[in-house]
Amino acid sequence: MTKRKSLRLGNRDLPFQMVLLAFGIVTFFPLVLVVITSFKSNTQFYHNFWLPELPLHLGNYSSAFRIIWRFIVNSVLYSGSTICLIAVIASVAGYVFARFHFPFKTALFLGFITLIMVPGVLTLAPRFVLVRDLGMVNTPYALISVWVSGGLVLSTWLMRSYFESLPQELFDAAYVDGAAEWQVFIYVSVPLARPMIATVAMTTLISSWNDLIWPLVTITDKDKMPLAMGLMQFSSDFETDWGTLFAGYVISSIPLLCVFAVAMRQFISGLTSGSIKA
């Protein structure tokens, strides 16, 4: 009975499934080809473009890793500190904006959200001059400070609307139990806001991890480059060594793949339900 039912439902899904399957194949095809090629020598690649071929050249991976690992470590450090700073600062600021009334609150908050309309490309050149005059060129501070301030705009807004949506009774209960304001914040509000903090962390990670232009402008030393910029360097250094080049591409996709494996469900539900609609 159940079997027949699922069969019938499956048939109704069939046309959609076929289209989705075709779409999925086209989506993954370039990625699969990159992975296949990453195991080939140049001779194998020119000789046989499409199919995998023995012997596998694992040496491609070790020579690519020797260069890529430093960029990955740099990016983890830069993006990691950016995420921590944004999570702390945006939670505090969002909490203050959500839970208190004080003079100039609206003006201050407008000072945050109007920046959503100011594009990064407008501020690129003057911001470079500013950062150069502050002596931060070619240091991680140039990246982290600008990523944090850029990310704060949206993050504070998201945190504020999340804290506003928490029911008053929760806070009342904590106040009745004699909690001070900072205790309410740390022991009640932050744990409840964990899903939103995760969303903020994820969006910050993706935007800082993928930023190419700002590092390109401010970082010059090869051993300080974050991944996106390092890959650009790497791709011109190994332009015609296809196996090593593609092995490097595969290696550099692994960090986000790990994050994705752990936090994907959270990320999808965070973006599809709620936060964006408001």
Partner 1 sequence: MLRRLSTSPSVSISQRESQSPLPTRVWRAKWLYLALLIPVAMLLIFEWLPAFSALYNSLYIWNGGKVHFYVGLEHYERMLSDRTFRVAITNLISFVFFRVIMQTALPFFAAEMIVNLRSARWSYWWKIIFVFPMVVPTILNYLIWRFIYNPQVGLLNEGLELIGLEQYTHAWIGDPNTVMWALAFVRFPWLPTLQFLIILGGLQTIPQEVHESAAIDGAGFWRRLFYIDIPMTKRQITLAMILTMLFMTQRFDLFLVMTDGGPGYSSMVPALQLYQSAFHFLEFGYASAIGVVLFVAMLALTVINLRVSAIGANA
Residue (10 or 135) nearer to partner 1, CB: 10
Near partner 1 by CB under 8 A: residue from 38, 41, 44, 156? 156
Q: Is 33 in the site for partner 1 (CB under 8 A)?
A: yes
Near partner 1 by CB under 8 A: residue from 210, 220, 222, 262? 210
Q: Is 3 in the site for partner 1 (CB under 8 A)?
A: no
Minimum gap (Å) between residue 142 Cβ and partner 1: 10
146 and 217 Cβ atoms separated by less than 8 Å = no
Q: Is 180 in the site for partner 1 (CB under 8 A)?
A: no
Near partner 1 by CB under 8 A: residue from 58, 84, 164, 187? 164
Q: Is 178 in the site for partner 1 (CB under 8 A)?
A: no
Q: How far apart are CA 161 and CA 157, in angstroms?
A: 6
Site size toward partner 1 (CB under 8 A) is 96
Q: Which stretch binds partner 1 (CB under 8 A): 53-61, 76-84, 193-201, 266-274?
A: 266-274
- Binding string to partner 1 for residues 42 to 61, with x set by CB under 8 A, is what? ---xx--xx-----------
Q: Is 84 in the site for partner 1 (CB under 8 A)?
A: no
Q: Is 101 in the site for partner 1 (CB under 8 A)?
A: yes
Q: Is 35 in the site for partner 1 (CB under 8 A)?
A: no
Q: Is 117 in the site for partner 1 (CB under 8 A)?
A: yes
Residue (169 or 221) nearer to partner 1, CB: 169
Q: Is 196 in the site for partner 1 (CB under 8 A)?
A: no
